[in-house]
Structure formats: C-alpha cells, structure tokens
Copies of this chain bind each other. A is one copy, B any other.
Amino acid sequence: MAFELTRDDLRDLVRGAALLGTGGGGDPSIGRTLVSEALRDGRSVTIVSPDELDDDDYVVPTAFMGAPSVLVERLPGGTEAIDALRALEAHTGQRATATMPIESGGINSTIPLFVAARHGIPVVDADGMGRAFPELQMETFAVYGVDGPPLAIADERGDTAIVDTGSDNKKMENWARVLTVQMGGVSHIAAYGMRGADIRRTAIPGTLSLALALGRTLREAREQHRDPMGALKDALADTLYERGDVIFTGKVVDVDRRTVEGFTRGRATIAAFDGDASCTIDFQNEFLLAKVDGRTRAIVPDLVTVLHMETGEPITAESLRYGNRVHVFAISTPEMMRTPEALRVFGPSAFGVDEDFVPFEQLPVGSHSSVVPEKEVAE
C-alpha cells in the first residue's frame, strides 16, 4: 500500500537499509543528508507498492555507482541522478512514471527518494537485489529477463553517456565501470527501465518499507532497553526474508582490508568473549561468507550483517575496526534469490568463493554463537 515518507522516517530507513546492505552500500549518512535536504519544509515522497503500478507504467531505477569512500570526499550536488534519468528519458523518448532502487543499502536506498522528491514522481517499494551487491548485472531484474541497457550515466558536471549493450548486462557493468573511474570514481546512473508488469515479475517487493521497519525496530529496542537482536528476528519472521539469527558475538580482533580493482576486499576476524571460538567474515564490498571455527554459518546471497553490540547500529565493511564489539547476524535471502538461475549470477562462485550455496537455516548452529558477557547484557 502506498505511504508517504517524511524527513522523520529517514534515520530509521537508512539504518534498516544499511542492515540490508550487508556491510556494503556505502555510508548511510550521505544518503540521509541528501534526501533530508529534498524533504525540507514538510515535503514527502510517495512510496507505492508494486501491486499499485499499472502494467504499462515506465519505472526507471536510479542509483549511485562507484566507490562510497570517494563519495564521502566529493559529496554529490544531488542532481547527478536526475541528469542520468533525464538523459535516459531523452534517449528512449519515454517519460518515467516512477523510480526505484536497484539495491538495498545505505546510499542506494536513498538516491531514488531524492530523485522522486525533485522529479515529482513516486518511488516503487522494491528493488533488484534485496540487499547490496557490487555489480550492476547482479539484479533479480536481470536474472528474470529484464535488460539493464540502455543505461544512462552522469557525472557531477551534468555530462552524460548512454550505454547500450543489448541484453549483455555484464558488459553494461564493465562499460559503466570504466566511465565511472574516468569520472573520478563516482557516477550516478539510470538503468533497467521497465514496465510495471515486469517489476511485479522480477523485483524483490517491499524492501523500502522493510528497511524502514527494521530500522525502526532497532531504534525502538534500544530506546526501550529490549534485546535488539531478538526484536530483529521477530521483525523478519513475517517478511520474505523469514529467518534471521545471531550466529556469533564477540570482539573484532583483526581486519585485513585492501582495495583491489576498485573493490574493498578482505577478511575480519571476531573472537568470542569467552573461550577460543572465533568467527571470520570474508568481504568484497559486502560481507560474503561467515565461518565460525572454520565451519560455514552463512554464505552469499544470504545476508551476513554486523551490528554494534551496544547500539544495534549496522557496521559497514569499510568502517569495521579492531575492538568493535559486535553481533554477527545472518538473514535468509528471499527464495527468488536462491533459484539456480539467481545463484549463477550472484551465488558464491560469482565472488570467487569456492563453496556451494547452502541456505542459512540448513547450516549447523555453532556452540559459541551468541554468548554475551553478563555486563554487556546489563547495559
């Protein structure tokens, strides 16, 4: 059902979006800042459900592309994504009737909100990843037959390019990526333009309202001194994601992080507060694989998230630091992201992880999974 998103909702929404971003998706404060400005003076954005779209509505997702760390240094003027959308509209000769996110994440859940507020169109409550992924072909849209091209890409000067690689979404990603690098590491894009009927068939529905609900859940649990992890688990039960649980709790004792070909890659190691148990998390922008004592506990495309134990705030792979006291919380991904055709595009092998995907709920529970020292619980 359609609802109005106001400035007051933003903080909750980006918190939940950052959680679904599974360590990637960029610093939520950037997206919040951008949209907050657009929603001043009581303005709101209309969020519509996929069910409310007409079959022939023309919906164009908008997004930021590139290195979030660069975006921090070069705050977007805000109009880049709109420039991209307009360039695509001019190229296709079609006016977008709505926009939507391509992924859930701190930044890319918010870019379409900004575009919508400025462009005077609604945002569809759905996206094409239901989490964050590093590349543009990793979309349920693509898995279920919607072409990414033509893609429009804009830089901070309003200069644009149109990439048309037919049905080759990976090639579209490659071309857009080199243009993004040429633009200084940051660009904004409009791609995967599609009909309302295609969205109902290919998108993960409800992810914006889910992000809002999860972000609110975490805040309220903190305010009411309830267990945020239990609240999160309960909040997921009635959604497409269904299952979520703490798989480890401890202190970050090592983060090996390097930038390779524009990606942030590495491994974080977390030690239990009692005993010898430890958890490793491999990441490439997003957290991909969590193991406890060497045994796999959650693997992409299931969601591996890391939250501050004290505040319940999600932590990105970029900002994870030695000494952070954290919960590692796994979430089962929606079924449409676990099909064989989906796993071919964004299963473990797409990230060079040499393990088969096993649903999180079928993996064994570790013995040291969620031991919290008593003084922590008391806080």
Contact = CB atoms under 8 A, between A and B. Distances in A.
Nearest to A93: B93
A167 to B, nearest CB: 10
A164 B175 contact: no
The winner among A158, A174, A182 for most chain B CB atoms within 10 A is A182
A113 interface: no
A161 B171 CA distance: 11
A52 to B, nearest CB: 33
A287 to B, nearest CB: 29
B164 A87 contact: yes
Interface string A205-246: 000000000000000000000000000000000000000000
A260 B92 CA distance: 39
A247 interface: no
A161 B182 CA distance: 15
A159 interface: yes
Interface in A307-333: none
Interface in A20-75: none
Interface string A159-174: 1111111101001001
Interface residues of A, number: 20
Interface string A264-287: 000000000000000000000000
A161 B159 contact: no
B162 A175 contact: no
A179 interface: yes
Contacts of A162: 91, 161-162, 164
B159 A165 contact: yes
Given A87-B164, A164-B87, A159 B171 contact: yes
B178 A181 contact: yes
Shortest Cβ-Cβ A-B pairs, 10 listed:
A162-B162, A159-B165, A178-B178, A178-B182, A161-B163, A160-B164, A174-B182, A161-B161, A175-B182, A159-B166
9 contacts: A157-B166, A158-B166, A159-B164, A159-B165, A159-B166, A159-B168, A160-B164, A161-B161, A174-B182
Given A159-B165, A159-B171, A178-B182, 13 more contacts: A157-B166, A157-B168, A159-B164, A159-B168, A161-B161, A161-B163, A161-B164, A161-B175, A162-B164, A174-B182, A175-B179, A178-B181, A179-B179
